[in-house]
């Protein structure tokens, strides 16, 4: 559990909250490439979510229909 922030000192110098996982079963997050403009996260229940790193906007989700585990 935790929060993912984006820090862009060239713009405002402030950290922008992208993803707050304190109330969900968040498992992992990573950048989508090329460009690193998007972040993808996954919950234990198998929901994959895509977020914009520009402003933290939730863009899309896909439910895999299976429970996800980390090995």
Residue-wise pLDDT tens digits, 1-36:
556 666 666 656 566 666 565 556 778 878 887 777
The whole-number pLDDT of residue 2 equals: 57
Taking the domain 3-63, which CATH number applies? 2.40.10
Which residue did the predictor score with more confidence, 18 or 71? Answer: 71
pLDDT score for 35: 77
Check if the beta carbon of residue 22 is closer than 8 Å to that of residue 3: yes
In whole angstroms, give the CA distance from residue 5 to residue 56: 9
Any idea where the domains of the chain sit in the sequence?
Answer: 3-63
Q: What is the pLDDT of residues 28-69, one digit of tens each?
A: 878 887 777 888 888 888 888 888 887 778 889 999 999 888
pLDDT value of position 16: 61
């Amino acid at each position: 559990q935790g929060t993912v922030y984006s820090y862009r000192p060239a713009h405002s110098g402030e950290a922008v909250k992208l993803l707050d996982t304190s109330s969900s079963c968040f498992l992992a997050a990573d950048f989508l490439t090329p460009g690193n403009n998007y972040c993808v996260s996954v919950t234990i229940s198998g929901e994959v979510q895509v977020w914009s790193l520009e402003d933290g906007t939730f863009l899309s989700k896909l439910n895999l229909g299976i429970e996800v585990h980390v090995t």
